[in-house]
């Protein structure tokens, strides 16, 4: 397996983990006040949008030529930073 495929699999695994985290946030939302539920759902929508961006970046890597995928990698890392930041913001507002 080449570096590109290993990188893609690692990032896909992180997306899968984040999907599970979003599911946990959705479950947690039902136990909060109406105001907190609205804020949490807003955060969830933001996270889901960021994750879609991440999936699109992974698709770019999968379809890029061997010599071009490294240049796409920066965009993937930027998308991942954005997703991490969105999760951090949501977690800060809705601690257990």
* Residues 10, 61: Cα–Cα separation, whole Å: 13
pLDDT tens-digit profile of 10-64? 999 999 998 998 888 888 777 778 888 888 888 889 889 988 988 998 899 888 8
pLDDT tens-digit profile of 52-94? 988 998 899 888 888 888 888 888 888 889 888 888 887 777 6
Is the entire prediction scored with pTM above 0.75? yes
pLDDT, the chain, mean: 85
Q: Where exactly are the structural domains of the chain? A: 3-93
At 68, list the tokens.
Answer: 């071009």
| Residue that the structure tokens 């890029």 belong to | 64
């Amino acid at each position: 397996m080449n570096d590109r495929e290993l990188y893609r699999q690692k990032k896909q695994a992180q997306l899968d983990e984040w999907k599970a985290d979003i599911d946990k946030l959705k479950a947690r939302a039902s136990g909060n006040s109406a105001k907190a539920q609205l804020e949490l759902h807003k955060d969830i929508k933001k996270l889901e949008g960021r994750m879609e961006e991440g999936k699109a970046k992974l698709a770019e890597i999968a379809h890029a030529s061997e010599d071009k995928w490294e240049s796409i990698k920066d965009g993937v890392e930027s998308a991942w930073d954005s997703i991490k930041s969105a999760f951090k913001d949501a977690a800060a507002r809705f601690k257990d």
